[in-house]
Amino acid sequence: MKQNPSVAPEGKVPLISKIAYGFGDVGCNFSWSFVVAFLMIFYTDVFGIGMGAVATLMLISRIWDAVNDPVIGSLSDRTRSHWGRYRPWLLFGAPITAVVLVLCFWAHPDMSYTGKIVYMSLTYGLLVLGYTCVNLPYGTLCGAMTQDMDERAQINTSRSVAAMIAIGIINIITVPLVKYCGDGTLSNAQGFVCVAALYGLIFTLCHWFCFFKTRETVAVAVSRQRIPLKRQLQAVLHNKPFLMAVVGQLLFGFILYGRNADLIYYFKYVEGNENLFAFFSGVIIVPSIVGAALFPLVFRWSNNKGWAAAVFSVLMGGSMVLLYFFSPTQSPVPFYVLAALAQFFFSGFNTAIYAIIPDCVEYGEWKTGIRNDGFQYAFISLANKIGMALGTSLLALFMGWAGYVPNASQSELVQQVIHHGFSTVPGILWIITAFIMLFYRLDRKKYNDIVRALRERKA
């Protein structure tokens, strides 16, 4: 019998599928990392919207997430096609989301202030929905590709390495591209919308590549009876490793996205040179790749993905706290060494925190008899987005409280808020996160016992 070359035996995943899955996160970052790093400064410095309105939007949008994330998760779980449950969402959702991304960065300077608020709210709400329709099934897809714990670790390593490369490229080229496509400044509307169109195209092509070169091989019993929402929620609450993953994602989103939104403000207003943002991003791109690739080694040493995450998190936190005492202009060597170390450890943590998620699905199925990959990943996605909303909203609120003025010299208080948001605050929070992740108990031996028990149960 001739085998499909895209499906390997005994839970092994072909190399091309691992690479293609990694490209999915390249696409995700050309949308979401671009949004996180640049949409806030686009709203304040280009579109002319106040910090308070931006902070309010970020918080209110999470109510919208609380509705659409579980709905999309359940719908993806119930999707039935010859392509599988999750891959069709990549095929059809990516181009639609790309169009909405462009609309988000399409400024309308002649609008009234109220009109700008309405336009911002509608386009951002649609973007959040579109991104959920793609990213949530994409994240769930990993668990449907194999049940082998080490293969999943390698798949997520591919994802993390690809993501770190993508983020590095985005951070290096975005400021020069916006200036090139616009009027030579970072405050030009035309520059942002052109870059959004390019990134939307990359977002679509990467997810299509992922769609065509991956396969869903984990068999799931098809039931004609819909599992009630209440029962699914009860199953989630009995899944302790999953609850730890949710807490980890909440902290991850809060710290990461709050700091990422702060980066361009730090270099523009504290260091006085926004072009340093691209240089900074270039310095940390290689440590990003190496750090992500190191995760499987740390996992083999610890036999626990949560403990591996804790090791990376505490070292990252210490590096960021020390970063406060150095400047890229006055003390560049220690500054960039610490920045590289922080990114090295962050990449390992990023790989670990996402590698945890699919393992929790098997635990939940073993514990409760319910397998609802998409529904569970919806809460992971929601926790990450709530963390992002809190991190970016608090940054905006503190900057507004300190007296931030767009495209002007900032007061000492504003600069201190931005500086601490770049270093000490995220550093301390990463150390706290490391302590929390030590309570994750689903190690390699327990997971393998669970998988064997599930196979015997199904047999």
pLDDT of residue 211 exceeding 90, the answer is: yes
Give the integer Cα–Cα distance in Å for 81 and 73.
16
| Domain extents in the chain | 15-217+229-458
Q: Which residues, 6+ apart, have CB-to-CB distance to 272 below 8 Å?
A: none
pLDDT of residue 426 exceeding 60, the answer is: yes
Q: Residue 37: which pLDDT band, with cuts at 50, 70 and 90? A: confident
The answer to which of 214-223, 286-295, 330-339 has the lowest mean pLDDT is: 214-223
The helices-and-strands tally (H runs, E runs) of the chain is 15, 0
Q: What is the pTM of this model?
A: 0.77
CA nearest neighbour of 220 among 80, 360, 357, 91: 80
The DSSP string of 412-438 is HHHHHHHHHHHTHHHHHHHHHHHHHHT
| pLDDT at res. 1 | 34
Q: Residue 370: which pLDDT band, with cuts at 50, 70 and 90? A: confident
Provide, rounded to the nearest whole percent, the portion of the chain with pLDDT above 90.
53
Provide, rounded to the nearest whole percent, the portion of the chain with pLDDT above 70.
95
**47 contacts 192 by C-beta, under 8 angstroms:** no
Q: Which CATH class is domain 15-217+229-458?
A: mainly alpha
Tens digit of each residue's pLDDT (9 = 90 or more) over 235-292: 888 889 999 999 999 999 999 989 998 999 999 999 999 889 989 999 998 998 888 8
CA nearest neighbour of 189 among 108, 250, 73: 108
More confident residue, 160 or 372: 160
CA nearest neighbour of 90 among 125, 141, 19, 15: 141
**361 contacts 143 by C-beta, under 8 angstroms:** yes
Across the chain, what does the average pLDDT equal? 88
Q: Residue 145: which pLDDT band, with cuts at 50, 70 and 90? A: very high
pLDDT of residue 29 exceeding 80, the answer is: yes
Give the integer Cα–Cα distance in Å for 352 and 329.
33
